């Protein structure tokens, strides 16, 4: 009951503390240490090298000297085909593709132009958010969906088939904007680690067939 929320942070400022007293465990909660054979070593930190090894005695605050100007530093510039496919997927109900889906979508879209997985990820994030705020805004001003940028139709009559290999359930097209709806685990990070996760899970194939889709404007 009488739980005082004792903040033990003392997060002052990291002026160089002579002895970085570690061992600051979170006082309140858990500290069970279930790990077998825990060597139990926490130690002081010598961050001598955390300063930039630049000999120059200054950290320039040169405006955006940080930006990557070297090749590949430009941002993704989607082609019409890519946008079209992405919008189809979006309209098809895809809201937050998981890692594998992202990978394969990107692989497909790479046929039409340079693209990476993160572009796909961001596109869905942004598109979802901006569709929502458009809707919200238009509901206020009652301007209606006059600002509907017609999605440029795919200029070919190719039937694109994206086969998504997934092991989570697909979320039915729940809605375009479902504020907070825990769905399923999906996080691009899973690429990052080894793929040797989830040992036994039969993989399902989701095949999204994308037909040219006459421009109906949206």
Partner DNA sequence: GCAAATTAATGATTTATTCAAG
Partner DNA sequence: CTTGAATAAATCATTAATTTGC
Residue 75 binds which one of a second copy, DNA, none, with CB within 5 to 8 A depending on kind? DNA
Q: At its nearest, how many Å lie between DNA and the CB of residue 43? A: 19
Give yes or no for residue 206 binding a second copy (CB under 8 A).
Answer: yes
The residues that bridge with 161 in the sheet, in sequence order, are 209
Q: At its nearest, how many Å lie between a second copy and the CB of residue 136? A: 9
The residues that bridge with 205 in the sheet, in sequence order, are 165
Based on the number of CB atoms within 10 Å of its own CB, is 176 exposed (0-12), middle (13-18) or buried (19 or more)?
Answer: middle
> 206: which 2 tokens?
């989701």
> 62: which 2 tokens?
């040169």
Q: Which is nearer to DNA, 67 or 200 (CB)?
A: 67
Which residue's entry shows tokens 């693209």? 115
Q: At its nearest, how many Å lie between DNA and the CB of residue 188? A: 9
Rounded to whole angstroms, what are the CA distances from 127 to 11, 119, 173? 38, 12, 15
Residue numbers 72-101 binding a second copy by CB under 8 A: 72, 77, 79-81, 83-85, 87-89, 91-94, 99
Residue numbers 127-156 binding a second copy by CB under 8 A: 131, 134-135, 138, 145-147, 149, 151-156
> 134: which 2 tokens?
């458009």
Q: At its nearest, how many Å lie between a second copy and the CB of residue 75? A: 10
Give yes or no for residue 121 binding a second copy (CB under 8 A).
Answer: yes
């Amino acid at each position: 009951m009488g739980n005082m929320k004792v903040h033990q942070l003392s997060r002052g400022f990291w002026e160089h503390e002579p002895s970085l007293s570690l061992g600051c465990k979170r006082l309140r909660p858990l500290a069970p240490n279930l790990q077998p054979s825990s060597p139990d070593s926490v130690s002081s930190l010598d961050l001598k090298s955390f300063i930039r090894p630049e000999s120059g005695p200054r950290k320039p605050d040169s405006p955006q000297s940080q930006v990557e100007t070297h090749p590949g530093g430009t941002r993704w510039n989607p082609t019409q085909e890519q946008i079209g496919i992405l919008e189809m997927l979006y309209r098809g109900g895809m809201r937050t593709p998981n890692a594998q889906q992202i990978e394969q979508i990107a692989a497909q879209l790479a046929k039409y132009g340079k693209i990476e997985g993160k572009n796909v990820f961001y596109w869905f994030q942004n598109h979802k958010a901006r569709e929502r705020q458009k809707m919200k805004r238009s509901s206020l001003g009652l301007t209606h969906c006059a600002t509907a940028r017609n999605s440029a139709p795919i200029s070919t009559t190719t039937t694109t088939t994206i086969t998504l290999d997934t092991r989570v359930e697909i979320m039915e097209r729940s809605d375009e904007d479902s504020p907070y709806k825990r769905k399923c685990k999906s996080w691009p990070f899973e690429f990052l680690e080894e793929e040797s996760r989830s040992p036994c899970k039969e993989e399902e194939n989701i095949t999204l067939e994308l037909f040219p889709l006459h421009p109906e404007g949206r």
